[in-house]
Amino acid sequence: MGLLRNFVVVTVIALSEFLSIGAGETNSSSQTCDFQAIFNFGDSNSDTGCMSAAFYPAALPYGETFFNEAAGRASDGRLIIDFIGQGNSFPRPEDFAKAIYTFDIGQNDIAAALQRMGQENTEAAISDIVDQLSNQLIYLYTQGARTFWIHNTGPIGCLPVSMPKHIAYNYTPAEGYLDQNGCVVYANDVAKEFNRKLNDTVVKLRTLYLDASFVYVDMFSAKYQLISNAKKEGFVDPSEICCGYHEGGNHFFCGNYNATVNGTEIYAGSCKSPSSHISWDGVHYTDAANSWIANRIVTGSFSNPQLPITRSCLLA
C-alpha cells in the first residue's frame, strides 16, 4: 500500500524565536531545547502546502480568516504547525540535528482505505502504513535527526464527511453505529487500532535508538476532547461544516463555483463565523480549532512522555 510514500510532503520552518506558546509551562530554571528548525512531515491536516502541491491550489475562502487570501493551507487560516512554529528562513545543513521533526500522518490513508476497501481490509493494511512510517523515521535518524514529535491520527469517525447526515439524506443509522457525540464508531475503532500499532512502533524505536527522543502525541484524545466539549469551549455543533454547501442531500465541497441545485447556480462558500466552528470543510479543522488543539498539545499533557514540546529533546 503506497499511500504514505506517495503523498507525504515536507514543510520546513526555521525558527527565529521558538514556540511562543507552551514555553510558559516550564519554570525559568528548567532546561529547554534550542531547536533551530521544524521539519514537518504530514498530509493536508498539518502541512502548509501539501494539498495545493499534490492536487490543486486552494483558493478562497481557504485562508480568509487569518491571511485574507489563499495561503496553501486546508483551513480558513492557520494549521497546528503554524501555531507551533514561527519564522520564515531556511535552516542550514548543520541545523538538522538541532531540529525537531514533527509527524502527522494517517488520517488520509485510513479514510481513503475505508472508503475504497472497507473496515476489514483497512485494518489489515494498517501494519503496512505504520511500517512505512517507521522506515522513514529510521532513515531520518540515519541522516542526523534526533528529536521526533509524532502525532497519532485523530478521530476519523468524527469528521463531518464521515457522518450519515452528510452522506445520505434522511438516513437513520442502526443503533450503535454512532457514539454519544455522533461519531462513526467503526471508523474511530480503526483509527484507534492504527494508533495502538503506531505507539508500539514508537516504543520500539526508543529501545533501538537511545540517543534520540521519540515523543508520541495523542492527537486523537486532544481532538476528541474538543469535540466532546464543543459547546463548553464556545463552538457550535461539531458536525456542522463551515465552508461548502450541505443542504437537502446536496453536498458541494468548499469553494466550489460550479454547483447547481434545482437549476439554480450556487456558490459553496464560507459560513459567517468560522471561529465558532470546529470543522472548516468537513475534513479539515478551522483556525480556531487548530489553535485550541495546539495550545494543549505543546504543554505535553497529551504526550508520552509528558514533556512540553520545548523540552522534548531532553530524552536524547
Catalytic annotation present for 284:
yes
Catalytic annotation present for 20:
no
The whole-angstrom separation of Cα 32 and Cα 25 is 11
Mark 295-316 as b/e (b = at least 16 C-beta within 10 Å). ebbbbbebbeeebbbbbbbebe
Check 52, 213, 284, 291 and give the catalytic one: 284
Cell of 232: 463548553
Catalytic annotation present for 44:
yes
Check 104, 218, 281, 287 and give the catalytic one: 281
What DSSP line would sit under 199-256, residue for residue?
Answer: HHHHHHHHHH-TTSEEEEE-HHHHHHHHHHTTTTTT---TT-BSSSEEETTEEE-TT-
Q: Residue 217 pairs with which residues in a beta bridge?
A: 151, 303
The strand order across the sheet containing 37-42 reads 9-14, 37-42, 100-104, 147-151, 213-217, 303-304
Residues 149 and 213 sit within 8 Å (Cβ to Cβ): no
The catalytic residues are 44, 281, 284
